[in-house]
Structure 1
Amino acid sequence: MRALSFAVLAVLLAGTLNAQAVKTASARPPLAPLRYVELPLGAIKPQGWLRTQLEVMRDGTTGHLDEYYWKLKNDNGWLGGKGDGWEETPYWLDGAVPLAHLIDDKPLTDKVQRYIDWSISSQRKSGYFGPVTKTERDGKPMTACDQGEDWWPRMVMLKVMQQHYQATGDKRVIPFMTKYLRYQYDNLKTCPLGKWSEWSTARGGDNLMSVYWLYNQTGETFLLELGKLISQQTTPWTQYFGGRNWVMQAAAQQNGTAWMDRHAVNVGMGLKLPAVQYLGNRDPKLLQTLKTGWNDLMLLHGLPHGMFSGDEDLHGNDPTQGIELCAIVETMFSLEQAISITGDPAYMDALERMTFNAMPTQTTDDYNNRQYFQVANQVEVSRGVFDFSLPFDRGMNNVFGPYAGYTCCTVNMHQGWTKFSTHLWYSTGTGLAALTYAPNTLTTKLPGGSTVTIREETGYPFTDQIQFTIDVPRAVAFPLDLRIPGWCKLASLLLNGKPLRTDKGGQIITLQRTWQPGDILTLQLPMTVTTSNWAKNSRSVERGPLVYALHVPAATSTHELKEEGTYVELKPKGDWNFGLPQSLVKDPVANTTVTLKNPAGFVWNAGNAPVVITTRGRKIPGWKATNGVAHQPVSARDGFYKGEVSDKEETLTLIPYGCSKLRIVAFPVVR
């Protein structure tokens, strides 16, 4: 292994580059062009509540996990030691690296730089890189690929290197990745993806994504052949999504047969495969396959918070099924890639729904504890088996804790908010596109060389107005794409306070004009209260991109288990067994009251919820929890629960799902 002195010098030189000037290639023939191109990491700076969320992560586990989590702290293999040499350190870096650059945090940047420097310096003459192998620990050099180790953690580290390159322009990254991928090309036939673990087979789409990214940078033709090899050796997600029998069988089976093909995290990662394969062969059927697969997943396994079930297997659409935190953040990343490749606004809507609903609820306010599995209708958080297909021997999958359940989520959760932040904007090649919304400031260069800064000021997803202030040194013409969400019936645009146009939801609009310094573009997305229908004729209350849940006050208790450390249980302090009246379903606006407050600071808890909806409901005495599970009452096909219902109407307080911990989100309907 090489000494670090040259590596450190290279980083210092790279640090003098303007990060926004790093070239981001759209497509190099014969690859298909991207519909939208990622902007360099650092071009987007989160503001408002989103900035607060990232600062909480910096002060919590994302910024400090390596200081106390033993797998990262003790003799780390990704720093040359004998400790963690598999996925956990790369997973953490996959969120910590973008966080450091999103908020320009030098201590965190310096911290993650050590791992990047070591990984680059670890590259052997063959091109292989990473922790010292068993052969090398025995004092022998690697002379064949079978003396290496699992491909999978190196797939994650390639993603880390891409982000580091986008942020810094580090000139070591491209030759480093090229040399490694040539090693992979030379050895995949002898040491295929599945040689060491099924994880590499299931997650080959991430590997393929990095291959095509590098090809767009270099044009090295061997990369196209490598892409074919990886596609052949990866779990055939494209066939599964298009064939449709797989998703139906997954709804019926949680046995040990082919369980890796039903593992929700693998499915979330696999979603990107048809789109990434489309880059290589331009077959539009692949994009239709992705759409079919996504629609089937949500039809058979979808839950009101925007994610499909997976505890760990795909497990149907009953609101008592769980979802793993890793599956959420990986599905988000797959959708972000699908958006870039397809430009389909349906994936943008889906990304916002799971980001603003499913993801925030599964971590604590300080970002130091998380659930392995959350439940949609979650009336208790405690040790137990619940309805999960993976109950785990110690019953720790539902509690909040830093290590409860499996620790993959302890290290992998950090990419959710960070990568969402880096994908708020894309380049169109000739202009810019705002495709998902949150407060931020964008600074980038247009193709003609002009620098543009756009301040996006908004309380979205809680408020319905987004204001873009365009700062350019002089008048400049460029197209600006804006997404009109599918849930919005009619959006309005104002330019400098004057009406510009109106547009229906579910589409991307393009504003082709000459922008003047200080132009203010206001996008108004009226949010009205609606209801949606879910499993067993249940109903959820929605407003804009947010789903609302009954706020159930909780009694919190902290415990400790020798094998897994401290953990937190939550037990309900109030009633939760309510049905919504028929009148609300018929006219949600007339039967609800919406109260708004400014979404400032940390927003994702019941006390700080920027939106509260009040309505009326009636108690269902027979709806009781069994072993912590509130099994859904069955309603008839006419949509009503037929059992005993209280005559007394009571006031119900609904808060955004992402602000809740105990809740009901899928309600029976009562007359």
Structure 2
Amino acid sequence: MNAKVLASSLAFLLFTSFKPVNTNFGENTPAFAPTYVAPVYTALPLGEIKPKGWLHNQLQIMRNGTTGHLDEVYPKIKNDNGWLGGKGDAWEETPYWLDGAVPLAYLLEDKTLQTKVLRYINWTLENQRPSGYFGPITKEEREKGVKVTVENCSQGEDWWPKMVMLKVMRQYYTATQDPRVIPFFTKYFDYQLKTLKQCPIGKWTDWAESRGTDNVMLVQWLYGITKDQSLLELANLIDSQSFTWSTWLGNRDWVIGAATQQNDAHWMRRHGVNVAMAIKAPAINYQRTQDKEYLSALDTGFKDLMTLHGLPMGIFSSDEDLHGNDPTQGTELCTIVEAMYSLEEIIGITGDLRYADALERMTFNALPTQTTDDYNAKQYFQIANQVQVKRGVFNFSLPFEREMNNVYGMRSGYTCCLANMHQGWTKFTQHLWYGTPEQGVIAMAYSPNQLTTKVGKSNTEVTINEITNYPFEDQVNFEIFTKNEVSFPLQLRVPAWCQAPVLKINGQTVEVQPDKNIITLDRTWKNKDKVTLQLPMEVSTSNWGRNSRTIERGPLVYALKLEEKWEKGIDQKEGAYWNVFPKSAWNYGLLQTIVKEPVKNLQVKNVKPVTDKFVWNLANAPIQITAIAKKIPDWKIVNDVAPQPVTDRTGIYRGRVTPTVEKITLVPYGCTKVRIVAFPVVPN
């Protein structure tokens, strides 16, 4: 891919500097930092943000589907669960599920679901060992009747699943302030500090070593509460025993190697889910050390990652390894939800709004397409140019002999995604707003919701109703309710793609001059004050792998609308699944005139209202874009995928093209299951 073209057309993802950074972190620094960098923006307690409108319906679907009932329909979690004291699942899948089910229970104020998840939380809290160790009963404990202690830490089990359960506990604490939680964390981290030299992070599995950043993140979260200096020492120790992601992200060699090597050597460094978790590592390390070279590593690493492996829907290839930017490569669902969470953490720590643009693109495009309407089946790998969904090998670096990685099924492919997919929409909802250092709030990502929080020096409670059908419309309305007048700064993010935002307060247009893409309204607010933010969306095209072009408008990318034919199958090991085939031709190239003058040659039409019952599918697609195209007869399916036609350096396909110009219809990518989104360009 031409990096210069990509950087200019996708400023929200690919950043301006393009130079390696000094990655000799901490050579002249003490063993641990004496100070701590407070996050620029503070995550609000779970429950202060309530979903509304189409987002509320999405979470209700999850509650009625697998998020609310995985323990009833999935035997691995259902049967004799280790996180309830049994002999069943004692590793990652139960905590993965809880990492989405716990926030869902409190976002929806669902008492039934809260009671369900509390069984696991209570068992974990109540069965922490006197040493501080926690988790399912180990083999040694069960067979010999002894507890895991500091002295016999080797009789414990893998550190990795505990990192996920700690994330669950943090969310639970912000929702409830349960007084048991902080002592639980404190005892466990004291246990880790005393045992990690004897039982290091990578003792049991490479997964813990590759994902140690999540452990560091949670240690530093507790430090932000207790200010116990030993926690920074522990964070430094864990980081020293984990994969050196910050160095790799800041160093070109790693991402280039990941793009060129697809063998089994060092594959954990290329594993897409590991990378998705790791992109927050430089921000986490900066938070502990104040070393700004970490922020440079983050900038360089994320930009390089999206340049060499990025796909139009805002995520990088991950099938399971990083696998280049060809639109026929796959992306694992776990990669998407973990990358979203990493971006949410990065935004809070750094305050860098470029990552909020990346978060919205990923959420509104890549996430919704990979699950069924009822949230009961998922795709292990999605493909950008996905002209069919079926059993097959495809171009994946993890093909499986059973050929089940591309179909929609509850248990198809690896079931890690069945357990982990639940954190995507729930944590996105939690991070629509952040607190600011000036005791105000910032609307970071846009979707319908209601915020109730305390603001200003007077610590006054306010409720802000955010009324919008974003990302399908360009207007966001805020209604402020307060018993007493209150002064606080209300900040509104302006996405990088928006050139001319329009702001009104109580119906009066206000001149705005965003500072670093932030509009700050610092004033005394009265009950029923109203703010309207309009973010005009203009159609454009962007350049992606193999000189393909994608049509986008606002945070959404648009794909060819193809009517779907669903076929159900049964696999002996992985159960029911669905293939999806297109009912019409897909082999179109966009006319060159669209790339030259997209606004003039693309027609945008609102065809359906976005209701509170909106579901991400073709039937509900609210917007259509009409484009002109010609068929490419020789563009055909080969080995289950549609290899991208070769273009010359001007980006034009010079092969045989039908003379007939046709109108084609595009819809939001997230509403599709089969599609073309990365189009070749053909002569007029």
Amino acid at match of 2:75: W
Residue 677 of structure 2, aligned match among 661, 665, 670: 665
Where does residue 482 of structure 1 map in the other structure?
492
The reply on whether 1:57 has 2:62 as its aligned counterpart is: yes
Question: What CA distance in whole angstroms lies between the structure 1 residues aligned with 2:365 and 2:317?
Answer: 14
State the partner residue of 2:575: 565
Identity %: 59
Partners of 1:378 and 1:369 lie apart in 2 by: 18
Q: Confirm or deny that 1:433 pairs with 2:433.
A: no
From 268, 275, 293, the counterpart of 1:260: 268
Residue pair 1:491, 1:503 contacting (<8 A) in 2 also: no
Secondary structure of the corresponding residue to residue 626 of structure 1: coil
C-alpha deviation, 1:218, in angstroms: 1.3
Answer with 425-434 or 111-120: which moved more: 425-434
Which letter does structure 1 place at the counterpart of 2:451? Answer: L
Deviation, 1:395, is 0.7
Give the conservation status (yes or no) of the 8 Å contact 1:45–1:441: yes
Whole-angstrom CA distance in 1 between matches of 2:262 and 2:650: 31
- Once the two structures are TM-superposed, the CA of residue 221 in structure 1 deviates from its matched residue by 2.0
Give 1:636's aligned amino acid: D
Whole-angstrom distance in 2 between the partners of 1:225 and 1:166: 25
Report deviation, 1:509: 2.4
Residue 118 of structure 1: aligned partner: 123
Deviation at 1:582, TM superposition (A): 1.2
Which of 623, 635, 653 aligns to 2:635? It is: 623
2:91 alignment partner in structure 1: 86
C-alpha distance in structure 2 between counterparts of 1:505 and 1:661, whole Å: 39
Whole-angstrom CA distance in 1 between matches of 2:678 and 2:232 = 47
The amino acid across from 2:72 in the alignment is E
Matches of 1:511 and 1:424, distance apart in 2? 18
Q: CA deviation at 1:137?
A: 1.6
**Paired letter, 1:124:** R
Q: Deviations over 1:445-498 (max 9, x none)?
A: 114221010000001000000001111112211111111000111111111111
Match of 1:510 among 496, 517, 520: 520
1:303 and 2:311 aligned = yes
| Aligned with residue 376 of structure 1, among 373, 384, 393 | 384
1:36 to 26, 41, 52: 41
Q: Tell me the residue number matched to 1:287.
A: 295
Matches within 5 A, 1:61-76: 61-76=66-81
Question: How many Å separate the matches in 2 of 1:268 and 1:321?
Answer: 17
Give unmatched runs, 5+ long, in structure 1.
1-27
Q: Is the contact made by 1:493 and 1:521 (CA closer than 8 Å) also made in structure 2?
A: yes
How far apart are the structure 2 equivalents of 1:153 and 1:435? 30
Question: In the alignment, is the contact (CA less than 8 A) between 2:512 and 2:519 conserved in 1?
Answer: no
State the distance in 1 between where 2:653 and 2:424 align. Answer: 38
**Counterpart for residue 332 of structure 2:** 324
Aligned positions of 1:124-139 closer than 5 A: 124-139=129-144
Offset at 1:176? Answer: 0.6
Match of 1:614 in 2: 626
Higher mean displacement: 39-48 or 214-223: 214-223
Report the aligned-residue RMSD: 1.1
Specify the code of the residue in structure 1 equivalent to 2:263: N
How far the C-alpha of 1:170 sits from its partner, in A, is 0.4
Q: Contact 1:459/1:598 (CA < 8 Å) preserved in 2?
A: no
Q: Relative to structure 1, is the Cα distance of residues 335 and 34 closer, same or farther in structure 2, using a 3 angstrom cutoff? A: same
Whole-Å separation in 2 of the counterparts to 1:277 and 1:325: 26
1:506 offset after TM fit, Å? 6.2
Equivalent position of 1:350 in the other structure:
358
Once residues 530 and 511 of structure 2 are traced to their aligned partners in structure 1, the CA distance between those partners, rounded to angstroms, is 14
Q: Does 1:106 align with 2:116?
A: no
Query: What per-residue deviation string (whole Å, max 9, x for no partner) do you get for residues 253-291 of structure 1?
Result: 110000000000000001111101111110111111101
Q: Distance in 1 between matches of 2:584 and 2:407?
A: 19
Aligned match of 2:644: 632
- Mapped partners of 1:125, 1:619: distance in 2: 69
Alignment of 1:186 onto 2:194:
yes
Q: 564, 582, 607: which one pairs with 2:592? A: 582
Kept in 2: contact 1:488–1:504 (CA 8 A): no
Q: Does structure 1 residue 521 correspond to structure 2 residue 531?
A: yes
- 1:606-628: CA deviations, max 9, x gaps? 11011111122110000001122
Aligned to 2:609: 598
1:647 aligns with 2:678: no
1:489, 1:505 within 8 Å by CA — same for their partners in 2?
Answer: no
Cα distance in 1 for residues equivalent to 2:584 and 2:523: 55
Paired residues of 1:490 and 1:504 also in contact (CA < 8 A): no
C-alpha contact 2:216 2:239 (8 A) present in aligned 1: yes
Once structures 1 and 2 are overlaid, which stretch shifts more, 57-66 or 625-634? Answer: 625-634
Which of 453, 462, 468 aligns to 1:444? It is: 453
TM-score, structure 1 as length reference: 0.95
Q: Return the offset for 1:503.
A: 4.1
Q: Secondary structure at the match of 1:526?
A: coil
* Secondary structure in 2 matching 1:486: coil
- Give the drift of 1:129: 0.8
2:3 aligned partner = none
Secondary structure of 2:144's counterpart equals coil
How many angstroms does 1:29 deviate by? 7.2
Paired residue secondary structure (1:45) = strand
Partners of 2:464 and 2:481 within 8 A in 1 = yes
Q: Which amino acid aligns with 1:633?
A: P
> What displacement does 1:602 show?
2.3
**CA displacement at 1:504 relative to structure 2:** 6.0
Give the Cα separation in 2 of the matches to 1:328 and 1:645.
36
Q: CA shift at 1:505, angstroms? A: 9.4
**Structure 2: 5+ residue runs without aligned partners?**
1-32
661-670 vs 138-147, greater mean Cα deviation: 138-147
Structure 1 residue identity aligned to 2:283: A
Contact 1:496/1:519, CA 8 A, preserved across alignment: yes
Indicate how the Cα distance of structure 1 residues 492 and 503 shifts in structure 2: closer, same or farther if over 3 A, else same: farther
Does the CA contact (< 8 Å) of 1:264 and 1:327 recur in 2? Answer: yes
1:176 to 171, 180, 184: 184
| TM-score (normalizing by structure 2) | 0.93
1:656 maps to 2:665: no
Please tell me the residue identity of whatever aligns with 1:88. Answer: E
Which of residues 464, 471, 476 in structure 2 aligns to 1:454?
Answer: 464
Cα distance in 2 for partners of 1:460, 1:506 equals 22
CA distance in 1, matches of 2:495, 2:418: 32
The alignment status of 1:155 with 2:163, answered yes or no, reads yes
State whether residues 373 and 615 of structure 2, in contact with CA within 8 Å, keep that contact through their aligned partners in structure 1.
no
Q: CA deviation at 1:98?
A: 0.1
Contact kept? 1:378, 1:629, Cα under 8 Å = yes
Q: Which residue of 1 aligns with 2:474?
A: 464
**Distance apart, 1:514 and its partner CA:** 1.2
Q: How many angstroms apart in 1 are the aligned matches of 2:117 and 2:173?
A: 13
Aligned length: 644
Q: CA deviation at 1:554?
A: 2.0
For residues 373 and 124 of structure 1, the distance between their equivalents in structure 2, rounded to whole angstroms, comes to 39
Match of 1:473 in 2: 483
Q: Displacement of 1:637 after TM fit?
A: 0.9
Q: 1:169 to 1:29 in 2, by over 3 A?
A: farther
2:514 and 2:36 mapped to 1: Cα distance? 33
User: CA offset at residue 344 of structure 1?
Assistant: 0.6
Equivalent residue letter for 1:175: P
Distance 2:621 2:41 in 1: 33
SS at match of 2:619: coil
Partners of 2:614 and 2:188 lie apart in 1 by: 42
1:138 aligns to what SS in structure 2? Answer: helix
8 Å Cα contact 1:482-1:509 kept in structure 2: yes
Residue of structure 2 in register with 1:47 after alignment: 52
SS of corresponding position for 2:618: coil
Q: Is the Cα–Cα contact under 8 Å of residues 490 and 502 in structure 1 kept in the other structure?
A: no
> What CA distance in whole angstroms lies between the structure 2 residues aligned with 1:506 and 1:184?
41
**1:547-579 alpha-carbon deviations (Å, 9 max, x no partner):** 000012221111111110111011221100000
